[in-house]
Amino acid sequence: MKITISGFIFIAVFIAIIDLLGLWVWKRELKDLKSKKYNWIAFVLLGVIPLIEILSYLYFSLQIRSATSPNFYIWFMSANITFAIIYFPKILFLFYYFVFLAVSRITETVKNKKYSKEQTTIRYPKISRNKFLSQVGIILATAPIISLVFGMHKGRFNFFTRHQRLNFPNLPSAFDGFKIIHISDIHLGSFASNFHKLEGIVDLINAENADAIFFTGDLVNNFAEETLGWEKVFTQLKAKYGKFSILGNHDYGDYTDWDSPEEKAKNFKGIVDAHQKFGFRLLRDQSVAIDIDGQEIALTGVENWGHDPFPRYGDLQKAMKGTDKFPFKVLLSHDPDHWDAEVTDKTDFDIMLAGHTHGMQFGIDWKGFKWSPAKYKFKRWDGLYQHKNQFMYVNRGLGFLGMPARIGMPPEITILQLGKGPVSTEPM
């Protein structure tokens, strides 16, 4: 979550183009309206607001690396949602307007000769072109506003559960029916101190009577301060054989230019310590055994491993040392790109659990059809994937970042049940 100078220039040019086009449309369609009221409306919508947005993003592009407080990111997200509410409707209206204009130009050149003179004398109520354009345009432009407002007030807190059973022939019989809760990407700083917003997940998770809870990284946005007070929520999470976690790219404090290495190290230690305070065993390039009645499976947790620009701290070979003796292996790795890069065909992990993508917090998942802009950035971005006898599950995350909204990609709690049998998957 960052904006660079080059990113600011792109946004500024984008805003200028959209509002210059808007000004052209305004003058073209309302040229007969001389009222000062309309001139002031145009001045505010197409002059003042764009200037405020450009100056806001200039400020964030210059200051985001120097941020020292989680509140900075709250303001950044506020700027993003304001931008979306203002400019998504503008873009949709302009697209509609120019398509309508092009169609009108084409139809005006075609003479309709199908009707007789008597038919053309029939009179119907008329609507002016300006009125038709404005009415339809307003209807279309309202849709994204409604979606954004719903995603901001409801969608980002509409926690839901997805269930999946995975069968493996090499799973020890004592683990047949072993239930895993998989959560990811909480980004506590985005919730500020609204503890009650996440208290609902405690009941959802504990009602599943999980054998283990696995958290796959991005506890915070950047600062250890974000974790303060949250132990009263996360210590309530219960699992029979333990709660385990790893770090994500946001958990290293890399998105701030610290005054000294010592200050960054102190911040990182606070984030690491928070996992213990929350009752999670943090795995940092290491493996542990989970034992049931003398039978064991290996659980490996690796530090963040990602393609640029995401940090690559993880050492998978180090993390998986000593796991050769285990018949079944689970890997926790934050970034799903790690699966194709170092896991499939190179290791014998049976399943990897990841997060990181958030499903871009925007998309469609309806009756088997699933789409999100995330698919253009990540090869694996949501749900279950299989390569031969290896599986990976990508969780959409519980939190949000960049934009304080989720539209069509609600926050997720995944329930995975392991079964003994031929390699297969089935819904629960």
pLDDT at 89: 86
Closest C-alpha to 312, from 282, 342, 287, 288:
342
Are the C-beta atoms of 29 and 96 separated by less than 8 Å? no
Claim to verify: residue 267 and residue 124 sit in the same structural domain: no
Claim to verify: residue 134 and residue 220 sit in the same structural domain: no
pLDDT at 165: 97
Q: How many domains does the chain have?
A: 2
Q: What is the DSSP string of 340-377?
A: IIIITTTS--SEEEE---GGGGB-EEETTEEE-GGGGT
Residue finishing a domain among 104, 133, 153: 153
Claim to verify: residue 192 and residue 170 sit in the same structural domain: yes
Average pLDDT for 342-359: 97
In the predicted model, what is the mean pLDDT of the chain? 89
Closest C-alpha to 249, from 226, 276, 216, 209:
216
Q: Which domain holds residue 399?
A: 159-427
pLDDT at 26: 79
Residue finishing a domain among 153, 169, 202: 153
Claim to verify: residue 127 and residue 188 sit in the same structural domain: no
Claim to verify: residue 95 and residue 65 sit in the same structural domain: yes
pLDDT of 203-261, one tens digit each? 999 999 999 999 999 999 999 999 999 999 999 999 999 999 999 999 999 999 999 99
Q: Provide the CATH number for the domain around residue 351.
A: 3.60.21.10
pLDDT of 28-46, one tens digit each? 776 655 666 777 877 887 8
DSSP 8-state secondary structure symbol assigned to residue 312: B
Claim to verify: residue 383 and residue 399 sit in the same structural domain: yes
Which residue has tokens 């607001």? 49
| Cα–Cα distance for residue pair 365/358, rounded to 1 Å | 14
Query: Of 121 and 330, which is predicted with more confidence?
Result: 330
Closest C-alpha to 235, from 289, 276, 282, 269:
276
Claim to verify: residue 171 and residue 146 sit in the same structural domain: no
Residue finishing a domain among 133, 153, 173: 153
pLDDT at 182: 98
Claim to verify: residue 144 and residue 214 sit in the same structural domain: no
Which of the residue ranges 70-79, 281-290, 408-417 would you say has the lowest mean pLDDT?
A: 70-79
Which of the residue ranges 10-24, 139-153, 291-305 would you say has the lowest mean pLDDT?
A: 139-153
Claim to verify: residue 30 and residue 148 sit in the same structural domain: yes
Claim to verify: residue 267 and residue 390 sit in the same structural domain: yes
pLDDT at 121: 47
pLDDT at 117: 46
Claim to verify: residue 226 and residue 354 sit in the same structural domain: yes
Instruction: Provide φ and ψ at 292, rounded to 5°.
Output: -130, 115
Claim to verify: residue 338 and residue 405 sit in the same structural domain: yes
